Structures are given as C-alpha cells and as structure tokens.
Amino acid sequence: MAISLSKTFLSIAHQVFPSEKCRPVSFSGREPQLQRTTSMGFATRSLRMPRVSSKTSGSLFSSIDELDKETREERRVADVWREIHGVDDWVGMLDPMDPLLRSELIRYGEMAQACYDAFDFDPFSKYCGSCRFTPRQFFDSLAMADHGYVVSRYIFATSNINLPNFFKKSRWPKVWSKSANWIGYVAVSNDEISKRLGRRDIVVAWRGTVTRLEWIADLMDFLKPISSNKIPCPDSTVKVESGFLDLYIDKDVNCRFCKFSAREQILTEVKRLLEIYQLEELSLTITGHSLGSALAILSAYDIVETGLNVLQDSRAVPVSVFSFSGPRVGNVRFKERMEVLGVKVLRVVNVHDIVPKSPGLFFNENVPLLLMKMAERLPWSYSHVGVELSLDHKNSPFLKETGDLSCAHNLEALLHLLDGYHGKGHRFVLASGRDPALVNKATDFLKDHYLVPPYWRQYENKGMVRNEDGRWMQPERPKLDDHPEHTHRYLKQLGLASHH
Amino acid sequence: MAISLSKTFLSIAHQVFPSEKCRPVSFSGREPQLQRTTSMGFATRSLRMPRVSSKTSGSLFSSIDELDKETREERRVADVWREIHGVDDWVGMLDPMDPLLRSELIRYGEMAQACYDAFDFDPFSKYCGSCRFTPRQFFDSLAMADHGYVVSRYIFATSNINLPNFFKKSRWPKVWSKSANWIGYVAVSNDEISKRLGRRDIVVAWRGTVTRLEWIADLMDFLKPISSNKIPCPDSTVKVESGFLDLYIDKDVNCRFCKFSAREQILTEVKRLLEIYQLEELSLTITGHSLGSALAILSAYDIVETGLNVLQDSRAVPVSVFSFSGPRVGNVRFKERMEVLGVKVLRVVNVHDIVPKSPGLFFNENVPLLLMKMAERLPWSYSHVGVELSLDHKNSPFLKETGDLSCAHNLEALLHLLDGYHGKGHRFVLASGRDPALVNKATDFLKDHYLVPPYWRQYENKGMVRNEDGRWMQPERPKLDDHPEHTHRYLKQLGLASHH
C-alpha cells in the first residue's frame, strides 16, 4: 500500500505537534501566533492546509522529509507481504519501523477493532451479545468497505463457561440466544484487494472485552495441557490457560449458535475457504485484541498443529497472528511448540498496559486489588510467544496523563501509537494522519484541548426509535443466522464429526 | 381536544397494569398467562391489541368505562378554554381531574420539555449552551409538528450572573457566544390549532436546568424588592428571589445574543405578537419547569403589571402560567400582588421533589448537604403563588423506588404522573396512553423489567460526523440569529429604549 505524495502532504497538513510548553488551544485568546499554527488540529477544517510558525517549522519539514523517504521507496505490499507476514520474524522491520508493516498492522488492527464497534453490549438491548449487523453488511455498516474484505462467517462462543465479566447478557426475557455471544468473524479479501496484497488473505478476527478489565481476574485459573481437550498435541507438557481453552472448546448443544464450539466453527470455515481458493496464493492472518489476542494465538496454533493450513498440493499456507494488547496464553513449552510449528506472532503492546503483563505480572503496591487476588492463585510459568512491538503512550503528544488502566489497554489508542511510531528514540509523528479523534471513541484519553468528546461512540437514543404510533421502542432486527449446513460436512472431513 | 372513541380504545390497548404482585415480565418464563397479558408493555408492538387475563380484566374494563365517560361528554377545548386557563382558579377541576385540563397540561408540559430536548448541554460541543435547531425547524426537529405552533423568537440570557451550576459553557475557545445561553422561546399557535383551541395562543416556554440540582444552592441568596430592578411595582415590599430577578433582567451589551435582557426580549416579542393578532381572541400561556417555572411566573407577573396584555380596545388578554416542579419565587406580598393582578398560576408538582419546597424546605437529617448550606442563609418568608396540583410518583406502578432526587424532579416523569392522575384516591390509569418510555429519557426511573434503557436520549456519536476525508468532527451549524431589528422599535414603545 504505497503512500502517494499528495496523501503524504495531506497528512502533514492535518498534523499538529502539541506539547505542554506550546499549548495548541489558547482559551485566553493570547499567543495568536502559536494558536494559528496548532489550534484544534484534527477536529476542525481549519487545519486542512499546513500552517507553520517559525517555532515549529523545522520539525514539520523534517517530518515531511521523513515521510517522503518512505514514499520514495515505492515498495508494494504485494512484493513484500511474506516479510510483513513474519517469514523472517520481523527482524530489522521494527526499529526503525517499516512503514508498510506499520500500515498493515493498523489495517489488521482496524479489523480487530471492528469486533468492538459492531458488538451490541447494551444489556437493555434485546440483541445484547450479538453483532449489530448482518455478515453481508458488516464492513459497509462500519464504513470499512474500502478494506476490501467480505465476511464469510460469524463466530459464536458459549457464555456457559465461568467468565462472568466477559460475556454480555440481555435483560430481556426472550432473547436471540440464552447462552451465545458473538465473538468474531472470518473474512476473505476480495479480488481487488487480493491483487494489491499479492495473495488471497483469509482473516480471522476475535473480539476482546469491551472496556472493563475484570475478566483477567476471572480467567487466570490454571494452565491445562492443551491435549486434554482433544486438540492434537504430541507433547502433554504444552499447556495453556484453561479459561482461554474453555472459551475456544466449549459448546452448548441446546443453542443453535453455539452447538458448535468456536474451534469447530473456525476450523470448518478455514478448511472451506482454503478449498475454494486452493489454486491461489494464500495467507491466513489471525488478529485480536486483549482476550481476542489469546484466542487468535490459540486458534493459529490449532490450525497449524492440525495441519489444516497444508493444501492438497502440500503447500503450507503461512499463518500469522497480529496480536494487540494480548495476555500471555500458555507456558514456555507452548511458546516453543509455536516456534517449531512456524506460527508467526507479532504482539503490539503498550508498555503501560497491565494485560500483556498478565499472568506473570510483577506485583507491587501499585497493582489494583483484583490483580493481587489473581496473583495469589497463579503458577509463574506463563510465557509470551512471538515477537513484541512495544509502544509507549507517553510518547504521543496527543494523549493525556492518566492512571486509567483501560486507556492504556485501549485498541484505538494503540493504533494511534502505531501510527506515530517510527522506531525507538524516533520522534512521534503520525504517518498516515489516521484520525486521533478515534482514540476517544471509548476513552477519555485525548488531551482535553482537542475538544473531542470522551466516549463519543454511541447510538442515537440507544437504538430506540419511534414507531408509527409515536411510541419509543427497540426495532426488531433480521433473524440472526446461525451456522451453515456445510459445517457438518467439513467437521466430518476434519474427523470431528463424532461429537455430533 | 376531544378524545375520539377509537383513540380511547387504542390507549387502553397500550396500557399495562404492573404491580409488584403481578410482575409484567417474567424472566423465568413461568406465569405464561400473566406474561401474555402484560409482557413488555409499551416497549413492544405486542400490546397493540388489548389482551386481558381473567386476573386483571375487571380493572381493565372499569378503566375503559372511566375513559368512556370522559369521551361521552364531548367537551371541546374551544368551549372551555377560559376555565382550563384558570379563570375560576381551577376550582372543581383538579379532583376529580378534569380530562381536558389534564391533556392541556400535558401539551404545555411537552412545550416546556422541548426546551430540554433542544438544548445543547455538551461542553465538548462548539455550540454548547445554544438550541440545536433553528426557530423555524424547532418543532419539526422534535417531531412535535402536530402541536401546531410556530416559534417566533428565541430567548437568551446572560451567564455573567452568579449561577455557575445553571449555565452551560463550551470548552471551545471560539464559540457562538461567550456569555449567552439559550433559555426559551416564544411561539404562536397556527390557524388550525387556534381553531381547535378557541383562540390564538401565544406561548412563552422557559428552559430549566438539565438534570443537576446544585443550582438551587447557588440561587437562594436573598429576596429583593421587585421594583429595585426597574420592573414597575407600586409596592416596594413585593419581593422576589434575587437570583431569578437577575436572570430575568441582566444583559451583556458586548454580546449580540444578550445585549437585550430576557425581559426585554419577552416584552417586545409579546407586544409585537399581540399587535399582529389584536383582532382575534387571544391567550398568553407561559410555561416552564424548575428554574424555568420561576421565570415563567416572573415574566407573567411583569407582562400584567406593565399592562402589556391590555389591547388597544382595552380587552385584557388572559395570562396564565402552567408551572412544573417550580420553586418558590417571592414573598407573600408577591403572591398577593399576583392575585390582585389576576395572573393565574397552576403549579404541578411531585410531592417527593425538593425543588418546590425550596426555599423554605423543612430541613432534617435526610436533606443533602448542599441544601443545608442553602438553608443557613435563607430568610423564611418565601411563598408559593397560585394553585397547586400535587402528584405522587409512588402512585405510578411504572416507576421504581428510588432515592434519586433528580427522578422526583424530572419533567417527563411528572407528565407521566399527570397522565395517570384522575383525582385524589383514584387509581393510577394512563389516560392518553402517553408513552411511559419517555420517563427514562434522562432518568433511570422506570422499573427495570420494562427494559427501557435508562438515560436513553442521546445523539449519535455525540454529534460527531465523518467528513469527506474520513475524519471525525463536529459539523458546523447555520449561523445563529440573534435578535430582530424591530426589537428597538418595540422597546421604544414600551418606554425601555433609554437603556440602549
């Protein structure tokens, strides 16, 4: 995805370089020179053209140079997608930050973010716990049509497992499902974007938790041999956190949405898609934020361990995980097994986020009570997998100082940090001009003087509409599809059909 | 406004009669008989047709009888509007509750509620403190076109007076006005509705406070002779709360929105409209909730004291106030002067609301600290004016027990109580089937099993929209009008022009 020159200049035009010393928005009306340069930034139209004061012009132009260089290289994703996908374990691509890798990471991060934006988490909604949109209209509804993917299947998980702070339940007595929660989707790149990407890309995106972090305390019970749950693994010392495994494996035969486990849904759908596109160049990219990252890693492992990614002509489709703000998933043996299998994992984290430090966090008096509680019952043998790309929200001049843990864990904030990251010690400069206003979708993290409302992502009247009688009510939605007929066929092919 | 028979039946069809004993929505799925009768109530379409269980049919039919009787009388507002307007001080109309008075009170209450629904109170909005809509589109934007009124002028007040918890200020450095807040409107009934009402009705509606009650503590400073502020009054012992008077009188010559005081804006507009319609039958109806009620009473007094309502042919246009949840405004002498002048005031209150008890509240250990603070500096000579219609939210089976003071003070809740009120000791039965879901617009007051989201009135993405570049921003609004040219002319006619 080459950045055109005109687009580069437009991004620069949008940029502002706030700092505590030269506060962009002067409420007093003094400092007109500074104010003209930096006022409002992204939140108004006035910054469409670059306005440079003598004080900041140096840095502005150096940043244009910087981006120019990136543009001049004219590398195309189609040519380097295997490197971006981690074939060389991202060696030399993270510092300085490879611009194509950065924009691809943001692209996949947005596909993980889509799981939040589409999720109905209002307990007063009849459809709480479901996806607000039909699979066909998924990306259109989120104004993400230009991502060029088509959702081929939704994934559901059962809330019957012990994760009270993860699952969302409607207060309505008659709901779309008593035990299911929508937990992600499988999507395929369309012809146009596949050409640009150099391959047909199958994406699995797993939803994480909405905002609250209490789910960590629920989860961290104990490590369980992965083979104990009928996931094939030659080594019984390979263990993963049992909560993640349960979420991935459990099903409820009485519910039409989770009569298949998330695992079964994923495996059958990936098998089906690989069959359809087996004559093309292919990639499998699995992404997720927070708990979704754990499921991404687990499902990537599963797909490769079961050999699902090996086509009939013996080609192995590369499987990579782009993980955002993810916790540790398993023990060191799990990490080693992932390496043997060649599952590539790039984990993007904010150093101030506690979730990637869990389990195995260094506990001290600053740690909230719920984490202390968690620590008491933990073995200390968890290990991260893959390669870490560690960012620091204190480097972004757009963000305010806050002790709010959910800010440091927020995915939109992390994508903002990615956009400004050029390598260790490099100045924070937004590369794509990605809208910093997105940070405040579900946080109060942007500095107040940008005047972006905190927690601004909300639905008109909480989804209530007036009917023809003038009464306010929740509109009915189209009947939700559960699972395609062909699931059984693919389960048989996978040797999993005996469970039904 | 005659209630047609079909409409009556429709209302009944919508009704539900919840009580703790027969809980309408059964989460367990048991009690199917009851559930069918009452499940969901107003929030679903399933209640469009009456469904009567043996257990509740008695009360259902008795209430149909009750409403039938009202309908059979076939009284028309056009015939009895003077009584509804208080010519006989509403004697005999409140217990049992006169059905036409009730529906008219709700209609005016909705016009007061419109001030809240249209007010922009988000400090992150550039237009915070203004009305979201243009005067021309005011009622259409609120889906109130069928009220049949046209806004002729907006009223602004200056926030320079000491009411920090009343005025709303934007965080933006460049705003529509530094010191003005939109505080109400003047509207006139159109030809069609005037025919139904039996006269051309001029309405002044004053905005109150949004939800927080702290403004009471700010306000209650001391009583001030009304004549001290150039409002003509023959008796210097007639006093009103100085905070209300300041709000009504103050202006800011440097602000184009409040270069005229609220008083000047009202008086000139009322004079202009009375001139235009002087050959017709006319009424002046002033309404407001909370602090808006105080301004309604003050402005009604002013209009009559100055003789503004007397037409050239010496006819006096009747002036009435429909007050909702209003505090005391002045001393006993003020009350007596109102009576001498013939200004009719009907005050609708919820007995559990503390605002109508202020100033002069009976203080005890249950009273919040801020009210205690207030009490310390108060003289005890405040007096209510007019006639009180006292309702009790504990009579509504729709509402939950709550200690939240803002629930008891909420206007939508009060209109709901009005709709169910038939007189002291009468059973609570919704007369118009007015949607109880409205109660939760800005409260968490409806019982949870109705499944109406609390605080559901909100704007999509807090008013942010994506521009053509994909960036999220607040859209610009049409330039706000301040005051018409003819204001000066009418000020002169009123003998008030010297101040400019």
- Confidence label for B293 from pLDDT (cuts 50, 70 and 90): very high
pLDDT for A178 equals: 79
B 416-435 near A (Cβ less than 8 A): 435
pLDDT for A498 equals: 59
Crossing angle of the two packed helices B5-14 and B57-73, in degrees rounded to 10: 150
Taking the Cβ of residue A277 and every Cβ of chain B, the question of whether any pair is shorter than 8 Å is answered with no
The pLDDT tens digits for B232-275 are 899 888 989 888 998 999 999 888 898 999 999 999 999 999 99
CA distance A460 to chain B (A): 4
Give B26: exposed, middle or buried? Use CB within 10 Å, 0-12, 13-18, 19+: middle
Residues of B in contact with A45 (CB under 8 A): 467, 473
pLDDT for A380 equals: 52
pLDDT for B480 equals: 83
CA distance A146 to chain B (A): 11
pLDDT for A388 equals: 96
pLDDT for B220 equals: 58
The pLDDT tens digits for B302-326 are 999 999 999 999 999 999 999 999 9
* Alpha-carbon span B115 to A128, nearest angstrom: 33
- Confidence label for A11 from pLDDT (cuts 50, 70 and 90): very low
Q: Which residue in A338, A345, A349 sits closest to A389, CA to CA?
A: A349
Cβ neighbours, 10 Å, residue B253:
11
* Alpha-carbon span B449 to B41, nearest angstrom: 10
CA distance B402 to chain A (A): 19
- Token pair, residue A152, equals 């081929």
* Alpha-carbon span A390 to A373, nearest angstrom: 27
Q: State yes or no: pLDDT of B342 exceeds 60.
A: yes
* Alpha-carbon span A52 to A273, nearest angstrom: 51
3-state secondary structure chain A: CCCCHHHHHHHHHHCCCCCCCCCCCCCCCCCHHHHHHHCCHHHCHHHCCCCCCCCCHHHHHHHHHHHHHHHHHCCCHHHHHHHHCCCCCCCCCECCECHHHHHHHHHHHHHHHHHHHCECCCCCCCCCCCECCCHHHHHHHCCCHHHCEEEEEEEEEECCCCCCCCCCCCCCCCCCCCCEEEEEEEEEECHHHHHHHCCEEEEEEECCCCCCCCHHHHHCCCEEEHHHHCCCCCCCCCEEEHHHHHHHHCCCCCCCCCCCCHHHHHHHHHHHHHHHCCCCCEEEEEEEECHHHHHHHHHHHHHHHCCCCECCCCCECCEEEEEECCCCCEEHHHHHHHHHHCCEEEEEEECCCCHHHCCCCCCCCCCCHHHHHHHHCCCCCEECCCEEEEECHHHCCCECCCCCHHHHCCHHHHHHHHHHCCCCCCCCCCCCCCCHHHHHHCCCCECHHHCCCCCCCCCHHHHCEECCCCCEECCCCCCCCCCCCCHHHHHHHCCCHHHC
The pLDDT tens digits for A241-280 are 888 998 999 999 888 898 999 999 999 999 999 999 999 9
Alpha carbon B92 to its chain centroid, in Å, reads: 23
Dihedral angle of Cα A61, A64, A66, A70, to the nearest 10 degrees: -160
Q: State yes or no: pLDDT of A13 exceeds 50.
A: no
* Alpha-carbon span A72 to A69, nearest angstrom: 5
pLDDT for A199 equals: 98
- Confidence label for A495 from pLDDT (cuts 50, 70 and 90): confident
Q: State yes or no: pLDDT of A360 exceeds 80.
A: no
Q: Which residues of B are catalytic?
A: 290, 353, 409
C-beta separation of B131 from B120 below 8 A: yes
One-letter amino acid of A230: K
Contact B451 A10 (CB under 8 A): no
- Confidence label for A354 from pLDDT (cuts 50, 70 and 90): confident
Contact B472 A458 (CB under 8 A): no
* Alpha-carbon span B340 to B305, nearest angstrom: 10
pLDDT for B291 equals: 92
Nearest CA in chain A to B439: A472
Taking the Cβ of residue A36 and every Cβ of chain B, the question of whether any pair is shorter than 8 Å is answered with no
Taking the Cβ of residue A271 and every Cβ of chain B, the question of whether any pair is shorter than 8 Å is answered with no
- Token pair, residue B41, equals 């109530």
Mean per-residue pLDDT, B37-42:
30
C-beta separation of B248 from B291 below 8 A: no
- Confidence label for B360 from pLDDT (cuts 50, 70 and 90): low
Q: State yes or no: pLDDT of B446 exceeds 90.
A: yes
The pLDDT tens digits for A217-239 are 666 557 788 988 778 899 988 98
Q: Which residue in B64, B48, B68 sits closest to B56, CA to CA?
A: B64
Q: Which residue in A133, A109, A105, A106 sits closest to A119, CA to CA?
A: A133
Question: What is the DSSP secondary structure assignment for residue B287, as one 8-state letter?
Answer: E
* β-bridge pairing A319-324 and B223-225: unpaired
Q: State yes or no: pLDDT of B62 exceeds 90.
A: no
Contact A451 B44 (CB under 8 A): no
Percent of chain B with pLDDT over 90: 57
Contact B172 A458 (CB under 8 A): no
Closest partner CB to B122 (pick from A453, A461, A463): A453
The β-bridge partners of B155 are B184
Cα Rg of chain B, angstroms = 23
Strand B223-225's sheet: what is its strand order? Answer: B223-225, B239-241, B330-331, B382-383
Give A336: exposed, middle or buried? Use CB within 10 Å, 0-12, 13-18, 19+: middle
DSSP per residue, B73-137: H---HHHHHHHHTTTTTTTTTBTTBPHHHHHHHHHHHHHHHHHHHTB---TTSTTTTSBSS-GGG
Three-state DSSP state, B157: strand
Q: State yes or no: pLDDT of B27 exceeds 50.
A: no
* Alpha-carbon span A361 to A358, nearest angstrom: 5
Percent of chain A with pLDDT over 90: 57
Alpha carbon A210 to its chain centroid, in Å, reads: 12
Look at B61 and B375; give whichever has higher pLDDT.
B375
The pLDDT tens digits for A29-86 are 332 222 222 233 333 222 233 322 333 333 333 344 445 444 545 789 999 999 999 9
Cβ neighbours, 10 Å, residue B27:
11
Where on the phi/psi map is residue B342: left (φ > 0), alpha (ψ -120 to 50), or beta?
Answer: left
Q: Which residues of A are catalytic?
A: 290, 353, 409
Percent of chain A with pLDDT over 70: 77
H or E element that contains B165: none
Taking the Cβ of residue B458 and every Cβ of chain A, the question of whether any pair is shorter than 8 Å is answered with yes
Q: State yes or no: pLDDT of A27 exceeds 50.
A: no
Taking the Cβ of residue A27 and every Cβ of chain B, the question of whether any pair is shorter than 8 Å is answered with yes
Q: Hunting for tokens 């027990």 — which residue is that?
A: B401
C-beta separation of B277 from B313 below 8 A: no
CA distance B437 to chain A (A): 6
- Confidence label for A159 from pLDDT (cuts 50, 70 and 90): confident
* Average pLDDT of chain A, as a whole number: 81
C-beta separation of A91 from A83 below 8 A: no
- A432-436, B119-123, B369-373: which has the minimum mean pLDDT? B369-373
Cβ neighbours, 10 Å, residue B1:
15
For CA atoms B488, B491, B492, B496, the dihedral sign is negative
One-letter amino acid of A227: S
Question: What is the DSSP secondary structure assignment for residue B10, as one 8-state letter?
Answer: H
ipTM: 0.78
Contact B43 A453 (CB under 8 A): no
The pLDDT tens digits for A396-425 are 999 999 888 899 999 999 999 999 999 999
* Alpha-carbon span B415 to B113, nearest angstrom: 9
For CA atoms A218, A220, A222, A225, the dihedral sign is positive
Where on the phi/psi map is residue B325: left (φ > 0), alpha (ψ -120 to 50), or beta?
Answer: left
* Alpha-carbon span A474 to A51, nearest angstrom: 47
- A407-421, B42-56, B441-455: which has the minimum mean pLDDT? B42-56
* Average pLDDT of chain B, as a whole number: 81
